[in-house]
Amino acid sequence: MATNVAGDLLDLGAKIEVAAAANMAAGTFMNMDGSLPSSAAACTGGVVPVDTASGDYVDLKLPPGIYRVRATGTVTAGLLVELLQASVYGNISGTKTAITAAGVQNISAGYAIGRAITGGVSGDTVLVNVTINQHAA
């Protein structure tokens, strides 16, 4: 059995339009209406696989699934994680663009959107078993 995982293990998707004025960064979360979920809030959608401009369509990765996501705070392997908004950079139409995005951090008081498989700090990419909104902390 392999000891390292390089990518997604299960991938369920849906083509969703990104809301106006809401560029999305790869490895972050988006609601089913194309909007950005709030920190520690419930999320109705899934993980954005590539940097995507507002108004464009994205193949949103839906739960359940084990996905590579951006850590926007401290993430510890084995712990539940919640959403945390942060400013990240993405490539929108060939231009490096600051994007407010929803990544993950260890759960503190919000809704669990999954369990971390690997750990990291803000700016890292981590594997998360995304289940979306199991319960509030």
Cα–Cα separations (whole angstroms), residue 107 to 34, 94, 116, 127, 131 = 24, 34, 10, 15, 14
| Contact residues for 8 (Cβ-Cβ < 8 A; gap 6+) | 61, 65, 66, 67, 68
pLDDT digits (tens, 9 = 90+) for 114-133: 999 999 999 999 999 998 76
How many C-beta neighbours within 10 Å does residue 39 have? 15
Please answer whether residues 44 and 33 qualify as being in contact, where contact means their C-beta atoms are separated by less than 8 angstroms: yes
The C-alpha atoms of residue 125 and residue 137 are separated, in whole angstroms, by 23
- What's the pTM? 0.86
pLDDT digits (tens, 9 = 90+) for 28-65: 999 999 999 999 888 888 999 999 999 999 999 988 88
pLDDT digits (tens, 9 = 90+) for 81-120: 999 999 999 999 999 999 999 999 999 988 999 999 999 9
The C-alpha atoms of residue 8 and residue 83 are separated, in whole angstroms, by 19
